[in-house]
Structure 1
Amino acid sequence: MRPATDHFPTTLWMVDDIPSRMVFAGRRWRVSDTPTRLRHSIWTASPEQNHGLYGWRFQGTDDDGLSLVFDVFKGEDGWHVHRSYD
């Protein structure tokens, strides 16, 4: 697991409101599994802080064939990677 120490910004493209690809850390990632919608219980913030917070967990594969699992959430200023896992 590679927990993020900060919430890193990312660009996320959706198809029918489901993640399909993203750009993160200077790489293009294709969503290569079925994304899972994350609800409030996954986030470490208190219920008051995470009001309205939602996100997705999905496997992303880059152009070199590297695959990671990402937890992403939508904040007030766009999408962010909360964690990535090997």
Structure 2
Amino acid sequence: MTIMLEAVSIWEQGGVPVRLVFRGERWRPVDTPIPLTREPDALPAAVTHPPVQQLGWRIRACSESDELVTIDIVQVDGGWVVDHLWS
């Protein structure tokens, strides 16, 4: 696993990534992207269904040159960055 913060551009359909550009190359998801979420750290005990915040996506993607990777992308300051990369 590699931890990084490199810019990535994504195209969404119905709020789900369907294409991305990373390191100057086009990539496409090969399965359904998984939402990356987080629940609040501290809540009153009476809260039985805490709100979930979506941070980004985990995507298994294939490049035009047939490289296959799994990447976590998160939104930072209105743009998207690759947070983790598994090749």
Per the normalisation by structure 2, the TM-score is: 0.77
Asked if the contact 1:58–1:70 (Cα under 8 Å) also holds between the matched residues in 2, the reply is: yes
> Shift in Å at residue 53 of structure 1?
6.0
**Number of aligned positions between the proteins:** 75
Alpha carbons of 1:53 and 1:8: their partners in 2 closer, same or farther (altered >3 Å)?
A: farther
Per the normalisation by structure 1, the TM-score is: 0.78
SS in 1 for 2:66: coil
> Shift in Å at residue 3 of structure 1?
2.1
User: Which has more radius of gyration?
Assistant: 2
- Deviating above 2 A after TM superposition, structure 1's stretches of 4 or more consecutive aligned residues are none
> Shift in Å at residue 64 of structure 1?
1.2
CA distance in 2, matches of 1:11, 1:38: 17
CA distance in 1, matches of 2:66, 2:34: 21
